Amino acid sequence: MNKNVLSVVGARPQFVKAGAVSRAFLATPGLTERIVHTGQHFDDNMSEVFFRELDIPKPAHNLGIGGGPQGQMTGRMLEAIEAILIDEKPDMVLVYGDTNSTLAGTLAAAKLHIPVAHVEAGLRSFNRRMPEEINRVMADHLSAMLFCPTSVSVANLASEGIVRNVHHVGDVMYDATVFARDQAQAASSILERLGLEDGAYGLCTVHRAESTDDPVLFAELIQYLERVAADNPIVFPVHPRTRKTLDALGITPKNLILMDPVGYFDIHRLLSGAALVLTDSGGLQKEAYFHGVPCVTLRTETEWVETISSGWNRLWRHEGYATPRTPIDEYGAGDAAQKIVTLIKQQLS
């Protein structure tokens, strides 16, 4: 008997993960996936380009809920997703990561007694000032299936009493990187467009509320980036929230190549040629490692602790990397998505 899974996505990192998992759904008989796009990220270069480049099936529902305070956004998503669940009655709801879309999808399903599966379960920064931390903790404690990228994330769940139906499957972001890496070399001309050469630039992203909402911290981050960029230019695709803060504070960064957010193939081409990555993004920290590029995390902590201990990453206020750099076995062999879909099929059988 065919089983139906409703996947809730809404933000750029979730599209990347959903691309890998949706391909596994399509290759697995007995399961049908339908996608709800909340609209949390809605611009073409923050949303539609990923559906095109990653061959993600067209969403069955596009809610168009983007912008506004977190509580308002999450509440509107919760209301809309609940109506869809009541109408469609899926056998399971699949959520990704730690965004408002994750929380809304989880709450809507849990209140209707529909089992939730959480991809990227067990990550912890142990910083409750981050809205993402609240979202991921809530999702984990309400989920019926928990798909962990690392053994540390499994241990984090165990310390909170969550041990049932917890699976260390590896990282779907690695699956996505394997899919995109070779294609990016052929499909992207971004280095030529920017007049850059491999190894002669850095890549930076800043988007988290904790980075952009504090004017003093944000100014300090920009000054730090300017100092690093004094030796080599830094490409800086600017998130809409970050652009708003730059404009509000009247900051025009020096030595940084500011541009609109870019597509998935373009970002992987930039990653593959970068000498250094600087970011507050959890996903980009790992993608830097997948491309063998050292990273500086623009935060006071990271949920991807193995990138620090293996010497590929460091926090921006800490000098130096752990040595020597070593491979990270935790992330799997590029088959995390298929493991997730196989386990879901077994659970629903």
**Which amino acids are annotated catalytic?**
207
| Residue 207 tokens, joined | 């988007």
Q: What is the DSSP letter of 185?
A: H
Look at the block and give the residue holding tokens 């879309």: 101
Instruction: Return d(Cα 133, Cα 3) in angstroms, integer.
Output: 31
Which whole-number Å values give the CA distances from 205 to 84, 146, 259, in the listed order? Answer: 34, 29, 11
> What radius of gyration, in Å, describes the C-alpha atoms of the chain?
19
Coil/strand/helix, residue 7: strand
Instruction: Return d(Cα 58, Cα 48) in angstroms, integer.
Output: 10
CB 325 within 8 A of CB 288: no
Look at the block and give the residue holding tokens 């529902």: 61
Evaluate the omega torsion of the peptide bond into residue 324 and state whether it is cis, within 30 degrees of 0.
Answer: yes
Q: Which of 27, 39, 34 is nearest to 3 (CA)?
A: 34
Q: What angle do CA 43, 92, 37 make, to 5 degrees?
A: 10
| Residue 208 tokens, joined | 């988290």
Between the two ends of the chain, the Cα-to-Cα distance in Å is: 8
Instruction: Return d(Cα 77, Cα 108) in angstroms, integer.
Output: 9
* Number of Cβ within a 10 Å radius of residue 60: 14
Which whole-number Å values give the CA distances from 242 to 29, 178, 239, in the listed order? Answer: 43, 29, 5
* Number of Cβ within a 10 Å radius of residue 257: 18
